[in-house]
Structure 1
Amino acid sequence: MSAPASPWYRQLSRQHWHALAGSWLGWTLDGFDFILITYVLTDIATEFEVSLTTAGTLVLATFATRWLGGAFIGSFADRFGRKTAMIASVLLYSFATFLCGLSWDFWSLMIFRLVVGIGMAGEYAAGSTLLLESWPERVRNKASGFLVSGWAAGGLLAAAVYAPIVTAFGWRGLFFVGIAPALLTIYIRFGVAEPEEWRSAADRDEAPKVSFFQLLSRRWLPVAAALFGLMFANFATTWPILSLMPTYLKSTGYDEGATGTLMFVASLGALFGYWASGFLGDRIGTRRALIWVMALSLVFVATTFAVTTAGSVVLAVSLFLVEFTSLGITGLLPKYIADHFDPTLRASGLGTTYNLGSIAGGLSPVWGGALAGVIGLGSAIGVLTAFWTLACIAVIGFDLPRRALGRAMATQPTAVHN
């Protein structure tokens, strides 16, 4: 009789855990820095004498430049290493966040937010590939889920420090705290190693000088386009809930305290969902897990708007389940995207498609508000979430990214493990 297999976590070395810690902290602090500005838009609008709508474009600005960071810092990561690119990205977005606190007018703040977006996207591209290539393939769904949970943790951290810091130092103090991620680079420099998968490709000198341009070739453009479509639909699915749900709850009679509590519970649902998605993905497969849980999320989305008046406890449970499924399953997307690219252009491919698709997150409040004027805010959130969830299921269910490999798969073996 063969000996029982050891638990998955005992099959990981210390270096595997260092890779997770460095990448996870990068994502946590990325989420922390990104969410900061959403708490102080009113203060910024007042100080710089602009409308709240104009101040809201600062959020869109961060989305608008993310594709640049994904494309070019991702290319840097493909050519010179995941760790080096990750250090550069963290330094870029942390110092740019600090400079936001020194902004002298609205347009200087806008420029600094554009730079923040570039750095954040670069960290996503480099950090995701570093972790996924470092961990054994059989547990990479867990790695992906753990990684994305950092973003939710960053949002919870921002919520925790917002009140005491703004009360003591004003809105600028919140951005000064944003320099903290720079300290992470010390740990990355000395505690995290380059993944062997990338080093092997680099030793063979396979990486193009600017891998982003390879994505525009006839071989890779169809793959990148299909994955971009998936990520656009994904952000269009999740961001109406993230950006418009607090406003909807207030419109139905919940005060600010109750709304904050409900959204905190919902965020916990996302956090636990990210963790659970990794275990499910390793058990039944990445693609199957994505399809099943996305379909299940539609049930909870419909339920949430049906129980709005049923009491805060019932609504809290429903919101928890919405984010546990709808957001939680997106923890598998870094793994799903990375599987479609060779190591020599994986960082730029993953970074570009994910962050270009994230533009939908910036647009969601706009088209959500427009649709709300016709059918009401609650119905608008539900319709947008359901429509784009079905779009995600269609892309993954029909396996469009893998089909798009077509000629690429025929000319050269490509790692696709769904």
Structure 2
Amino acid sequence: MLILKYLITRFTSLMPPLILPENPITLLGMLNRQQIAFFIVALLAWTFDAFDFFTVTLNIIEIATTYNKLPSDITWGITVTLMLRSVGAIIFGIVGDRFGRKWPFIVNIVFYAIVEICTGFCSTYAQFIGVRALFGIAMGGIYGNCAATALEDAPIAARGLLSGLLQQGYALGYLLAAALNLAITNNQRYRWRALFWFGGCPPLLVALWRIFLPETRAFLCVKEARKTNAFAADHQVSAVRAFLSAIRPALAQHWPIFIYLVLMMAGFNFLSHER
């Protein structure tokens, strides 16, 4: 009887309690002006990063014709970009956790904006692949910076809604790229190159806006706490060692959730990028 009772109640006990969601307007109303500015600047940075990524996707035939290559050669540039995103995520993640959310974010935006503009100036296929590899590093770093900027200072109750809205910057970037591709690419003599030149300009304005915004309060609290930590206060400790020291307890306690999230995002990207 005990076994039967266990089998009957085990699965129902795993069901999370039903919590009715709050009105999204109410949740957004919790944000103050600074938190709204953080969210918008992060959304714009992620949107125009996606804009650049999909600019290649929308012009595969055009770019292949320019370099006298097969379309599959151009899609290799997309593959290289995606392969190096992990490298960018690690680099800018460590730098962001070590030096703050503001200036690594600004450097990351300027980095991908310059790479985007340079893509339009590539004269050879090798240059194109090299520049897209650099963009992969920049693209890998930007979402972590965007998420930290948009969510760290936001009210806890509103973070779920904001994280979902922030992720839609990826879709918004695609829609903008598709619309402006129709408006720009076939209506001037520089063809696909002009779309990259255009796409690199708005992110620079986003970076300029971020300069006038302060550091996130959450990171300032972390910075203050580090001053009382003898290990983190040692200026001779490398950024990598400080990062590993901070992340080790989190991985030890939450590694199942971490693995689950990695696999879930891998599945999302598989569905998004399969051709």
Indicate the TM-score class for this superposition, using the shorter chain for normalisation. 0.7 to 0.9
Partner of 1:189: 211
Q: Which amino acid aligns with 2:137?
A: I
Preserved contact between residue 36 and residue 175 of structure 1 (Cα < 8 Å)? yes
Shift of 1:227: 2.7
Preserved contact between residue 72 and residue 212 of structure 1 (Cα < 8 Å)? no
Q: TM-score, normalised by structure 1?
A: 0.53
Unaligned residue ranges in structure 1 (runs of 5+)? 244-363, 366-418
Shift of 1:14: 0.6
Partner of 2:60: 41
Which of 86, 99, 104 aligns to 1:67? It is 86
Partner of 2:154: 135
How many residues align? The count is: 239
Partner of 2:9: none
Q: Which amino acid aligns with 1:231?
A: V
Q: Which amino acid aligns with 1:195?
A: T
Could you tell me how far apart the structure 1 residues matched to 2:162 and 2:264 are? 23
Q: Which runs of structure 2 are paired with 1:46-125 in the superposition (5 Å)?
A: 46-125=65-144
SS of 1:22's partner is helix
Q: TM-score, normalised by structure 2?
A: 0.79
Shift of 1:164: 2.1
Unaligned residue ranges in structure 2 (runs of 5+)? 1-22, 233-237
Partner of 2:44: 25
Q: Which amino acid aligns with 1:204?
A: A
Q: 1:10 to 1:39 in 2, by over 3 A?
A: closer
Shift of 1:229: 5.4
Could you tell me how far apart the structure 2 residues matched to 1:224 and 1:214 are? 15
Preserved contact between residue 165 and residue 174 of structure 1 (Cα < 8 Å)? yes
* 1:230 pairs with 2:261: yes
Shift of 1:93: 0.5
Q: Which amino acid aligns with 1:183?
A: L
Preserved contact between residue 16 and residue 135 of structure 1 (Cα < 8 Å)? yes
Could you tell me how far apart the structure 2 residues matched to 1:175 and 1:216 are? 37
* 1:179 pairs with 2:210: no
* 1:202 pairs with 2:202: no
Q: Which runs of structure 2 are paired with 1:267-416 in the superposition (5 Å)?
A: 364-365=274-275
Shift of 1:173: 1.1
SS of 1:123's partner is helix
Shift of 1:90: 0.5
Shift of 1:69: 1.2
Shift of 1:101: 0.6
Shift of 1:232: 4.0
Q: Pairwise CA RMSD of aligned residues?
A: 2.5
SS of 1:7's partner is helix
Q: Which has the higher contact order (CA 8 A, sep 6+)?
A: 2
Q: Which amino acid aligns with 1:107?
A: A
